[in-house]
Amino acid sequence: MNTTLSPVTVQRFSALQGERITLVEQDYTGLTPKLEQIIRAFEFTQIELAVYRDRGYAQGRGVGQPESDRCALACAFLAKAVLDLKTTRALMDRLQADSKLRRLCGFDLRFALPSEATFSRAFEEFATSELIQRVHARMIEDTLGGQLIGHISRDSTAIEARESIAKKKDNAGEVAKALPKNKRGRPQKGEVRPPPEPSALERQRGQTLEQMLFELDTACATGTKKNAQGYKISWKGYKLHLDTACCGVPISAVLTGANVHDSRVALPLMHISAQRVDACYELMDAAYCSTVIREEIRSAGRVPLIDHNPRKGEKQEFAPHEAQRYKTRSGAERCNARLKDEFGARHVQVRGHAKVMCHLMLGVVALCADQFTRLLV
């Protein structure tokens, strides 16, 4: 069988290849700043490699061709965070109208986009497997691991959710009957009373990181706090707790119910951040004012700078050099503001702790990539 191509066929094939190269060059010239930001996010996160490893294709355990589809869907959800799109439907409309974005995410222009149900199933898969959390951890370890960071700023931000508040079983009456009643006043002569129950922070001292995270309430709840003007505000949803490095990069994140106090998450965040980076100082506001937190940070070899909460007493001021360092804690608030204003944390359309965390972590990794780019420029 003669497989040699005729000169006419070769000539036509060469001309066709030249036209295709020209079309590709025209398609990728004149990228908008947002598309360039998406490309940088893909480069820093390497989310395609994470999906490839997560589904077992690196070990040869994959079957069929779904890995390319999942890689494109993961890139599309990351682009959704960069573009600050509210819904999956808005993402699909953008992909349908923008061929450049569609190619960047890895979708084949010859075929139709996956259905909205496929997008939803893929997002649920990413949320259940905690794929984006692993991507974030690897980003921090690859870029900042082994480096000494000046300080870490710890803060939380309210996350409003579109779901009902989780109902809790009312077992207070049965528990009260089972427990012995505490007597008031001084004990009688020869009476021995049981020691008081340790507080939640004292109990965390002897726990592992997994145990501390397990005891945190992660269900949707109602939260209340004072704003900068001193007025109380309430919201329904969650609370995102972040550790932010002095360079403006989020180091670790924990999502709890809105009713969880900030101090309950201080020690878990401290352990997570310590596994990824080395820091000299840990900066926190008065919500974290606790002797237990200060002692645990000092025992880890760091210096705690926590604004003192007088609690109807006399306020203790920082030393001049400590006050100068504490001023930089505003970086955590700027990180929270950027996460809400630019990367989709203000409009959460999904429900459930796992999906809400996945949605927020997509914004966190997009923010990390953007901040790394600013540091390199």
One domain, residues 80 and 217: no
Kindly state the tokens that stand for 346. Answer: 């203000």
- What pLDDT, in 10s, does the model give residues 185-225? 677 777 777 777 888 889 998 899 999 999 999 999 999 88
Residues in the chain: 377
With beta carbons less than 8 A apart as the criterion, state whether 286 and 312 touch. Answer: no
Q: Is residue 360 part of a domain?
A: no
Q: Mean pLDDT over all residues of the chain?
A: 84
One domain, residues 122 and 245: no
Which helix (H) or strand (E) segment holds residue 214: the answer is helix 209-215
pLDDT score for 117: 92
Of 180 and 48, the structure prediction assigns the larger pLDDT to 48
Q: Is residue 375 part of a domain?
A: no
pLDDT score for 68: 54
| Vertex 234: Cα angle to 233 and 238 (nearest 5) | 125
Q: Is residue 223 part of a domain?
A: yes
- 20 falls in which pLDDT band (50, 70, 90)? very low
For residue 237, report the phi and psi dihedrals to the nearest 5 degrees: 150, -125
pLDDT score for 300: 92
One domain, residues 152 and 265: yes
| Spatial distance between the Cα atoms of 341 and 226, rounded to a whole number of angstroms | 21
| Spatial distance between the Cα atoms of 117 and 302, rounded to a whole number of angstroms | 48
Kindly state the tokens that stand for 253. Answer: 């994140």
Looking at residues 229-237, what average pLDDT do you find? 87
Report whether pLDDT(5) > 70.
Answer: no
- What pLDDT, in 10s, does the model give residues 261-304? 999 999 999 999 999 999 999 999 999 999 999 999 999 999 99
Which helix (H) or strand (E) segment holds residue 149: the answer is strand 148-160
For residue 114, report the phi and psi dihedrals to the nearest 5 degrees: -60, 160
CA 25 to chain centre: 36
Q: Is residue 18 part of a domain?
A: no
Q: Is residue 2 part of a domain?
A: no
One domain, residues 73 and 151: no
With beta carbons less than 8 A apart as the criterion, state whether 82 and 38 touch. Answer: yes
- 19 falls in which pLDDT band (50, 70, 90)? very low
The amino acid present at 370, given as its one-letter code, is D
In terms of Cα–Cα distance, which of 154, 132, 152, 135 is closest to 360? 132
Report whether pLDDT(178) > 70.
Answer: no
Report whether pLDDT(230) > 80.
Answer: no
- Cα dihedral angle (215, 216, 219, 223), rounded to 10 degrees? 140
pLDDT score for 237: 94
Q: Is residue 171 part of a domain?
A: no
One domain, residues 161 and 297: yes
One domain, residues 119 and 156: no
Strand pairing category for 278-284 and 148-160: parallel
Looking at residues 106-119, what average pLDDT do you find? 90
Overall domain count for the chain: 2
- What pLDDT, in 10s, does the model give residues 312-331? 678 889 999 999 999 999 88
Q: Is residue 93 part of a domain?
A: yes
One domain, residues 224 and 343: yes
Neighbour-count burial of 317, counting CB atoms closer than 10 A to its CB (0-12 exposed, 13-18 middle, 19+ buried): exposed
* Residue 307: domain span: 147-166+207-351
pLDDT score for 3: 47
For residue 179, report the phi and psi dihedrals to the nearest 5 degrees: -85, 145
One domain, residues 259 and 317: yes
Looking at residues 371-377, what average pLDDT do you find? 88
Q: Is residue 187 part of a domain?
A: no
Residue 148 C-beta-side C-alpha neighbours within 13 Å = 5
Looking at residues 227-236, what average pLDDT do you find? 83
Of 44 and 19, the structure prediction assigns the larger pLDDT to 44
Say what percent of the chain tops pLDDT 70. Answer: 83
One domain, residues 153 and 100: no
CATH code for the domain in which residue 212 is found: 3.30.420
One domain, residues 153 and 237: yes
- 166 falls in which pLDDT band (50, 70, 90)? confident
- Cα dihedral angle (315, 316, 320, 325), rounded to 10 degrees? -90
pLDDT score for 55: 67
| Spatial distance between the Cα atoms of 375 and 246, rounded to a whole number of angstroms | 12
**Alpha-carbon separation of residue 281 from 34, 148, 278 (angstroms):** 35, 11, 10
How many other C-beta atoms can be found within 10 angstroms of the C-beta atom of residue 304? 20
With beta carbons less than 8 A apart as the criterion, state whether 14 and 79 touch. Answer: no
One domain, residues 219 and 271: yes
pTM summary value: 0.84
With beta carbons less than 8 A apart as the criterion, state whether 106 and 72 touch. Answer: yes
One domain, residues 155 and 109: no
Looking at residues 36-58, what average pLDDT do you find? 83
